[in-house]
Amino acid sequence: MRSNSALTVRRATADDAGPLITVLAEAFLDGPVADWLVPDPHERRTVYFRYFTLVLHHGLQHGRVDTTSDLSAVAIWYTRDEVPLLASTDHYYEVEKATGRYAPKFLLLDAIFETHHPHPPHDYLAYAAVDPHRQGRGVGTALLTHAHQTLDEAGRAAYLEASNSRNRDLYQRLGYRQGSPIHLPTDGPLIWRMWRGQPTDGTPAPFPSDLLPFRRPL
């Protein structure tokens, strides 16, 4: 695992939105999920900038957005303490406005991820991205290690979906364990579900059982 101790991680604000939208759109521009969502690479750039504008502002409003001092990375986290209600109608309209004829694919991805979301309380890492020119230098590791320290102090678990096997390996090194994968329809890529539970006896907690839905205490 690479380390990058020179970087400071801090909470992002609305003033950081422009550069962080660019980091998200550029980082996710290539790869099997991008090919599946928007097969045309020329249209993809426009659609992605619009979509990640929505994603970043949603994160600033409803979640926690971390970034680095040089704005080269972004992580969007949400607290998930109970099974959420379905997305609001506004969300559907906003996704349709941002992604046009690709909206059914984006909404299908949301729905599939939601159906496969584990139930125990956790923080959900919805997006992690590093500027493509800065990848592979420990920035992503520094960004996530910062969040994990806070989670460990609070005794909280984390969950994410890894979109390729290289990311999965990074997350495994950071303490996540793999659940059953999701196969995106039709002939789409595999997505690895990753859970970082708090260790009980020194060994990482396994992926939570899908058969034990979380029930809110009375």
Q: What is the binding site for ligand COA (CB under 6 A)? A: 2, 27-28, 128-130, 135-141, 162-163, 166-167, 169-170
Distance of alpha carbon 74 from alpha carbon 19, whole angstroms:
10
CB of 137 to ligand COA, least distance (A): 5
Closest to ligand COA by CB, 22 or 135: 135
CB of 157 to ligand COA, least distance (A): 17
Which residue number has the CB closest to ligand COA?
140
Q: Over the range 158-184, which residues count as b (16 or more CB within 10 Å of their CB) and which as e?
A: bbbbbbeeebbebbbebbbbebeebeb
CB of 92 to ligand COA, least distance (A): 23
**Closest to 170 measured CA to CA, from 149, 142, 198:** 142
Closest to ligand COA by CB, 97 or 183: 183
Name the region of 125 (left: φ>0; alpha: ψ -120 to 50; beta: rest).
beta
Closest to ligand COA by CB, 99 or 141: 141
Closest to ligand COA by CB, 53 or 167: 167
Assess contact for 122 and 152: CB atoms under 8 A.
no
Strands, E assignment, 95-206: 122-130, 158-162, 177-178, 182-183, 190-196
Closest to ligand COA by CB, 109 or 130: 130
Distance of alpha carbon 123 from alpha carbon 152, whole angstroms:
11
CB of 217 to ligand COA, least distance (A): 31
CB of 216 to ligand COA, least distance (A): 28
- Count the alpha carbons within 13 Å of 97 in the hemisphere toward its beta carbon: 9
